[in-house]
Amino acid sequence: MKKVVLLALLLVSMAIGVCAVENPDILSRLTIEEKTKLLTGMNGMMTQDFASKGVRSLKFSDGPLGPHSNLELEVCFPNPCILANTFNKDLMRRVGESMGRLCNQQQVDMLLGPGVNIKRTPLCGRNFEYFSEDPVLAGELAAELVKGIQSRGVAVSVKHFFANNIEFNRGAISSDMDMRTAHEIYLRPFEIVVKKAKPLAIMCSYNKINDVWASENKWLLTDVLRNEWGFDGMVVSDWGAVHTRPACFKAGLDLQMPDDASTPGVMQEALEKGEVTEAEIDVNVDRIISLVRRIQNPGPSEDFDIMAEHQVAADAAAEGMVLLKNSGALPLTPDKVKKVAVFGTDARKPLISGSGSAYTPAPDSRVDDFVDMLNRYGNGVQFDYKDRVFPGGIPTFDHGQWAAFNGELNGYDAFIFVVSNGNTTDGEAYDRTTINFDSRLEAMLLHFCGRKNTIVVMQSGSAMAPVYDWYKRANSIVYMGIGGEAGGTALARLLTGDANFSGKLSETFSWRLSDNPVNENIFGNSERIKYDEGVFVGYRWYDANDKDVWYPFGYGLSYTTFEYSDLQIRDNKVSFKIKNTGDVAGAEAAQIYVHPIDSQVSRPVRELKDFVKVYLEPGEEKTVSVNYNSSWFTYYSNEENRWMRDTCKHEIQVGASSRDIRLSKAL
């Protein structure tokens, strides 16, 4: 009798054109009431529990900075805006494994992250939890992170699928773009992650795409995700992103979150009206069952060491912070300075996370005190915290007070200013209105940066731009980003020379917001956002329009120097040499771009295709190799609705940034 039931299920599925189910044995034990109940959560962070029938409940946790469901077992990792600056695939795998171990300890079955949405505009409030303006960098790093997390027997839910590139009216707005823009830029990082890391789940976004909700968009969830890319996991809604339930499940969404007690009744009514069939519901439920079966969370380990995971966070933060300018003040070593003054409301406890669902708290005992860490790694240099410049938080325009304070600073050899707009500009459900620091902060910097050996440390979740000329007066400028609980240690090691800078910017820092095609005008239409700039996003836009920028994509300095040479292209491989020509060990993030020559198609000046990070001792030289394939020379045709090879000539370019090309060769 059981074989007859299973055969009937298979025949019905084939007859209506639905994929055959993988778990017919469990499906046959579930009633239709239980199946419809499985389509939504049991509560805000757990799925339904039918363990007696083979479908246990799963526990979810918000990410993507690490799971946070038990404060004592949480580690706040560097935010993805900093992780991306590492340009280090191996490190991302290591961070992922660490996050996976934390999921094991917290008995979390699925981490909601990473987020791989493109940084289309620096105004997006959620940029701190996204990787980059470039789809290849975002996709490749996220893929390694996913591999690491899932290696620990837990699942990830890659989000937000897709075109959620600003928080403004995200629950109702339509992101309108052509297919070329979609495939080359905004779908691309998701495609890389799906094909390379095989995530067990994808989370749909809140917004519409060309007037169709992402949660009920069959083109997106079935045609592209499953049929084109081969995704075989579960699709979960963002929390509250479901509108018309039968339409969602038919389109390819499998699990509605959070719990909605009305969903079973709505779906059974849809069954009675013939709007859906039980075989169609079986497909959705089957994917949920498959997810449960694939997750093999071993649970807590007795030899777990929370401080070992804290060290992973510290190492990642150190590789992601970027040295933007250095005229000799850094590193702060005993042969150059004896006493250093430190300023800033966040100097002792730097920002660890943006706000919203991604916010990951950490016990105060594990949030590193930057000044304490400076004194630990300073080799005898004295670092003193000075808070009088910041009475009541943001400084007031009191030049008289500042002038009087100058006298107290005469005994110091260097000055560190840690500046941010606080935790009010980087967060979920709201956006920035500017990419400038508070004007009072800028006035303070302008006043004090005339002193010798002034170091400015910028904290933010996305690109910033100066208004006043303090950046000309500052001796050194560091982009700290939002460094997680171990950011204080990472920054202290870098400034004192205990570690070397190797981070590169994963997004362009323009001179002003108006230079970006997506600026404050984006808030003018609450119904739709038109992606009129097409594929020209980030550095692609600035290069195509020959715009000067404050700091370009891929830029970052080191305490040493690197020489590139001997570019070779043969046997589907690009190889070149990198040599450390300085006197300290360091790492260089080399970037490989493709430049089309005389293309008849409107294409970017150059596009990142791969990258590699190389560690070198002083005087050491290594040969670096990456493989290439025909996809490097294609574009997506709106007319043909497919990827096409461009018939023009192409040049392979190898650089230290998008505007520092060291080697090139025509192909």
**Tens-place pLDDT, residues 522-534:** 999 999 999 999 9
| Average pLDDT estimate for 170-189 | 98
Same domain flag for 513 and 574: no
Last residue of a domain, one of 474, 509, 524: 524
Query: What would the pLDDT profile of 397-418 be if each residue is shown by its tens digit?
Result: 566 777 777 778 889 999 999 9
Q: For residue 24, is the peptide bond before it cis, meaning its omega torsion is within 30 degrees of 0?
A: no
Same domain flag for 427 and 328: yes
| 657 pLDDT higher than 80 | yes
CA dist 281 and 272 (Å) reads: 13
Same domain flag for 258 and 327: no
Q: Which residues contact 549 (CB under 8 A, 6 or more apart)?
A: 508, 509, 510, 511, 515, 542, 659
User: What's the pLDDT at 13?
Assistant: 42
pLDDT bucket at 256, cuts 50 / 70 / 90: very high
pLDDT bucket at 9, cuts 50 / 70 / 90: very low
In a domain? residue 398? yes
Same domain flag for 240 and 321: no
In a domain? residue 360? yes
Query: What would the pLDDT profile of 566-619 be if each residue is shown by its tens digit?
Result: 999 999 999 999 999 999 999 999 999 999 999 999 999 999 999 999 999 999
| Average pLDDT estimate for 430-452 | 90
The percentage of the chain sitting over the pLDDT mark of 70, rounded to a whole number, equals: 95
pLDDT bucket at 250, cuts 50 / 70 / 90: very high
In a domain? residue 190? yes
Same domain flag for 151 and 223: yes
| Average pLDDT estimate for 105-134 | 98
User: What's the pLDDT at 394?
Assistant: 60
Q: What is the CATH number of the domain that holds 644?
A: 2.60.40.10
User: How many DSSP H helices and E strands does the chain contain?
Assistant: 19, 24
| Average pLDDT estimate for 307-327 | 98
pLDDT bucket at 345, cuts 50 / 70 / 90: confident
| 366 pLDDT higher than 80 | yes
| Average pLDDT estimate for 58-76 | 95
Same domain flag for 220 and 275: yes
In a domain? residue 3? no
| 16 pLDDT higher than 90 | no
User: What's the pLDDT at 407?
Assistant: 79
The residue among 59, 50, 57 whose CA lies nearest residue 26 is 50
Handedness of CA 381, 386, 389, 392 (dihedral sign): positive
Same domain flag for 84 and 193: yes
| 423 pLDDT higher than 70 | yes
| Average pLDDT estimate for 636-654 | 97
In a domain? residue 625? yes
Which domain range does residue 66 map to?
31-165+173-294
User: What's the pLDDT at 397?
Assistant: 53
What amino acid positions are annotated as catalytic residues? Answer: 238
CA dist 119 and 389 (Å) reads: 34
The residue among 214, 222, 123 whose CA lies nearest residue 463 is 123
CA dist 461 and 141 (Å) reads: 18
CA dist 614 and 631 (Å) reads: 25
Last residue of a domain, one of 262, 294, 326: 294
Same domain flag for 267 and 359: no
| 471 pLDDT higher than 70 | yes
Query: What would the pLDDT profile of 269-302 be if each residue is shown by its tens digit?
Result: 999 999 999 999 999 999 999 999 999 999 999 9
User: What's the pLDDT at 660?
Assistant: 98
| 323 pLDDT higher than 60 | yes
| Average pLDDT estimate for 153-165 | 98
| Average pLDDT estimate for 60-64 | 96
Same domain flag for 207 and 325: no
Same domain flag for 278 and 323: no
Same domain flag for 580 and 517: no
Q: What is the CATH number of the domain that holds 343?
A: 3.40.50.1700
In a domain? residue 532? no
User: What's the pLDDT at 388?
Assistant: 63
Pairing of strands 562-570, 573-580: antiparallel
User: What's the pLDDT at 19?
Assistant: 59
The percentage of the chain sitting over the pLDDT mark of 90, rounded to a whole number, equals: 88
| 387 pLDDT higher than 80 | no
Average pLDDT, the chain: 94
pLDDT bucket at 5, cuts 50 / 70 / 90: very low
- If one counts the domains in the chain, the total is 3
In a domain? residue 540? no
Same domain flag for 277 and 326: no
The residue among 149, 156, 161 whose CA lies nearest residue 62 is 156
In a domain? residue 549? no
User: What's the pLDDT at 3?
Assistant: 46
